[in-house]
Amino acid sequence: MTFNRYRRGLFITSFLAAPVILYLVYVISPNIQAFYIAMTDWRGVSATPAFIGLDNFERLLGDNVFWKAVGHNAALLVLLPVITIIIALFFAFLLNVGGQQGVSGIRGSTFYRVVFFFPQVLAVTIVAVLFQQVFRPDASGMLNGPLMALGLDPIGFLSDSSFAFWSVLGVLVWQAVGFYVVLFSAGLASIPKEMFEAAQIDGAGRISMFFRVTLPLLWDTVQVAWVYLGILAMDVFAIVWVMTVQQGGPDWSTTVMAAEIYRNAFGYFRFGYASALGVVMFLFTVGFAILSLRLSRRERIEY
């Protein structure tokens, strides 16, 4: 018996050793160090950075660029989930229960699902470079070419600071919608068909079917989508860094927290300050997580 217990212990240790060590070294330790580095003036060269307490945090309170970035993340946090979820719910409903009989899918629904999902598979950097070309400000741009051919003025999708943020949001929605169409479709598929049939017999039209039956039954999945999209909105980096003018411009009109952290760390070599920004980003992320857990508690519908 003791031999068996010894063997069991050895087995557990040997299976956990590699993942735990890798995780401690590369994930846990940098995350903990960040909180300490945030209280130093470290610029990467001096071996012993000076401890400066909360100076970095005091300084970031007055950092206009960073607060602009926070504002953009906040706007994305609201707009990205709302827009994406509305569009995806609409399409998922059409594809699954919006058919002519009211409870069946529309013709060609598999084809649409396959096409809609594809952008999700592409690397964000590919999408970023692709849309940089689509948005080109002259006649060679995919969108401005036809506009100028019609005699209209070209739109500075990325070069005009009043448009650039919306272009970023548009690209994020473009890439995300398909994923949530598939997610909501899977959610709809798990709802018994009789629910829809019963509603239809009771005389529910398509619109009341959507709001009275589909949406309440899908509420759990919508919550999951909300959290996922919220995290996506907080973590936005590559689209902004690669696609926009001056990596967050023009005139800081598209910059986000992640971009400012990267810029401070690897552009200005202010590792202490960048880590302080990271701590603030962490607090916002945790805040969002707590808030969404609080708000999303609602009675589950059993079926």
Partner 1 sequence: MERRRRLGPLGVLTHLALVIWTLLVIVPLLWTFLASVKSEDEIFGSAWSLPETLRWDNFARAWEQAHIGQYMINSVIVVSFSTFGTMLVGSMAAYVLARYPFRGNRAVYTLFVAGLAFPFFLALSPLFFVVQNMGNIPVIGQFIGLNTHAGAVLVYIAYSMPFTIFFLAAFFRTLPTSVGEAAMVDGASHTRVFFQIMLPMARPGIISITIFNILGQWNQYQIPLILLQDRDKWVLSQGIADISTAAGYDADWAALFAALTLAILPMLVVYTVFQRQIQSGLTAGALK
Round to whole Å and give the CA distance between 196 and 205. Answer: 11
Q: How far is the CB of 298 from partner 1 (least distance, A)?
A: 18
Nearer to partner 1, 82 or 121 (CB): 121
CB of 44 to partner 1, least distance (A): 8
Cβ closer to partner 1: 163 or 179?
179
Closer residue to partner 1, CB minimum distance, 125 or 162:
125
CB of 74 to partner 1, least distance (A): 15
Residue 199 vs 281, nearer CB to partner 1: 281
Q: Which is nearer to partner 1, 80 or 257 (CB)?
A: 257
Least gap, CB of 15 to partner 1 (angstroms): 4
Of 64 and 100, CB closest to partner 1:
100
Q: Are 276 and 56 in contact (CB under 8 A)?
A: yes
Nearest approach, Cβ of residue 136 and partner 1 (Å): 8
Closer residue to partner 1, CB minimum distance, 83 or 130: 130
Quote the least distance from Cβ 114 to partner 1, whole Å. 5
The CB-of-163 to partner 1 minimum distance in angstroms stands at 18
**Partners of residue 40 on adjacent β-strands:** 51
CA–CA separation, 122 and 130 (whole Å):
11
Nearest to 239 by CA among 182, 176, 156: 176
DSSP string for the chain: -HHHHHHHHHHHHHHHHHHHHHHIIIIIHHHHHHHHHTTB---SSSSSPPB-TTHHHHHHHT-HHHHHHHHHHHHHHHHHHHHHHHHHHHHHHHHHT-STTSSSPPTTHHHHHHHHHHHHHS-HHHHHHHHHHHT-SSTTSTTHHHHHHTTPPPP-TTTSTTTHHHHHHHHHHHHHHHHHHHHHHHHHHTS-HHHHHHHHHTT--HHHHIIIIIHHHHHHHHHHHHHHHHHHHHH--HIIIIISTTTT-STTSS--HHHHHHIIIIIS--HHHHHHHHHHHHHHHHHHHHHHHHHH--PPPP-
Nearer to partner 1, 57 or 228 (CB): 228
Residue 212 corresponds to which tokens in the numbers above?
């009275």
**Rounded least distance, CB 299 to partner 1, Å:** 20
